[in-house]
Amino acid sequence: MNKKQSKIVRITASYFIIAIMAVVIIYPLVWVFGASLTPGTSISSSSIIPDNPTWSHYKELFNSEESLYLTWYWNTIKVSILSMLASVITISLMAYSFSRYQFVGRKNGLVTFLILQMIPNFAALIAIFVLANVTGLINTHLGLILIYIGGAIPMNTWLMKGYLETIPKELDESARMDGAGHFRIFWQIIMPLAKPMIAVVAVFSFITPFTDFILAKVLLRQPEQYTLAVGLYELVSRQYGSEFTLFAAGSILIAVPIAILFLSLQKYFVSGLTAGGIKG
């Protein structure tokens, strides 16, 4: 086999693998979308896209008097945005401190973060509930936001710290010689260079409230406070008698803000991969 044939085989194998992965990823999304267009309440169908598609389930989510879908959507967006902003600020400051300064407890703090990121949030449900009850944060979005922020800190601090350490410290020293203070170096020099990692942390923090069910279910009590995950579950399992097509319609709409954020920050992901390749 000559070089040209070998190259063709490699390219063909690569595209074949990519095609398989695309089917594995895209098929469930198409199936759920088809289920959301299926008339009635059953999701059983001979084809992915039903023969008589209908948008009635989407209309029912927004027009039904019993549905609080818009309220749940707003609650989730609010929790997601506040969690994302607070997480990015907190994690950036912590990662910068661990990356640039030497202080007592630095090594033990990093080891603690490493251990904490191995423990899922639901493993501490009892402790979280008791703490939220004592502090009066049961059935509040503030309690949920604080938990999401705390849960995002260990892993994302490690990720951002590793990225900040690829930024030359000579930039800090040069700025310090020109009279820049610690915060100015952090804000005007380090953070613009860390945009790719900030984008990663922002997306991770934004997605969590949309996908989390257990923590929200434990803390939130009133339907007006529910996030989408809890609200859709209650809507389908209690009020409408397991109408899975309605659940599919609500699930499809969850992907809209996540997709918008990801597409908006996509250029930073690409530049992050490029920067990582150059610095490596």
Q: Of 260, 254, 204, 256, which is closest to residue 228 (Cα–Cα)? A: 254
29 pLDDT exceeds 70? yes
For the chain, give the mean pLDDT. 85
pLDDT of residue 53: 83
Helix (H, G, I), strand (E, B) or coil at 240: coil
**Number of helices (H), then strands (E), in the chain:** 14, 0
Residue 14 CB contacts under 8 Å (≥ 6 apart), including other chains: none
Residue 45's pLDDT band, with cuts at 50, 70 and 90, is: low
pLDDT of residue 277: 38
Residue 21 CB contacts under 8 Å (≥ 6 apart), including other chains: none
- Cα distance between residue 47 and residue 272, in whole Å: 41
- Cα distance between residue 62 and residue 54, in whole Å: 15
pLDDT of residue 141: 95
Which CA distances in Å does 123 have to 127, 130, 198?
9, 14, 28
- Cα distance between residue 80 and residue 209, in whole Å: 6
Residue 103's pLDDT band, with cuts at 50, 70 and 90, is: confident
Q: Which two tokens stand for residue 265?
A: 């920050």
More confident residue, 65 or 104: 104
What secondary structure letter does DSSP report for 64?
A: -
Which of 32-36, 46-50, 141-145, 263-267 is most confident?
A: 141-145
CA torsion sign for 42, 44, 46, 47 is positive
pLDDT of residue 56: 86
Structural domains for the chain:
3-55 (no CATH), 58-279 (1.10.3720.10)
User: Buried (b) or exposed (e) across 41-63, using 16+ Cβ within 10 A?
Assistant: eebebeeeebeeeeeebbebbee
Query: Could you read off the pLDDT of 214-234 as tens digits, one per residue?
Result: 999 999 999 899 999 998 888
276 pLDDT exceeds 50? no
Query: Tokens 């098929």 belong to which residue?
Result: 27
Residue 50's pLDDT band, with cuts at 50, 70 and 90, is: confident
- Cα distance between residue 143 and residue 129, in whole Å: 10
Averaged pLDDT, 122-135: 88
Residue 240 CB contacts under 8 Å (≥ 6 apart), including other chains: 41, 246
Residue 238 CB contacts under 8 Å (≥ 6 apart), including other chains: none
pLDDT of residue 278: 39
Which CA distances in Å does 93 have to 99, 164, 186?
10, 11, 8
Query: Could you read off the pLDDT of 51-94 as tens digits, one per residue?
Result: 788 888 888 888 876 678 899 999 999 999 999 999 999 999 99
The type of residue at 226 is: Y
Residues in the chain: 280
Which CA distances in Å does 257 have to 73, 74, 173, 214, 254?
10, 11, 40, 21, 7
